[in-house]
Amino acid sequence: MSNLQIGLRTLALVALVVFSTAVLVQPELIGGSAPATALAIGSIPVVGHH
């Protein structure tokens, strides 16, 4: 695996973490309301590797 591929995967992971954190802090970003934080948590996909 080249350094470019590793860098792109790392960048994608960081972007996912930033987006997930932003949605948890401000669910209004995806059209939710502040009391609907539980729905925002449920809308974040779980990314796993088997």
Measuring CA to CA, which residue among 45, 42, 16, 13 is closest to residue 27? 42
What is the distance in angstroms between the CA of the first residue and the CA of the last residue of the chain?
18
**pTM above the 0.85 mark?**
no
Residues 25, 15: Cα–Cα separation, whole Å: 15
As to burial, measured by CB atoms within 10 angstroms (0-12 exposed, 13-18 middle, 19+ buried), residue 37 is middle
pLDDT digits (tens, 9 = 90+) for 2-49: 999 999 999 999 999 998 888 777 767 666 666 655 655 666 666 655
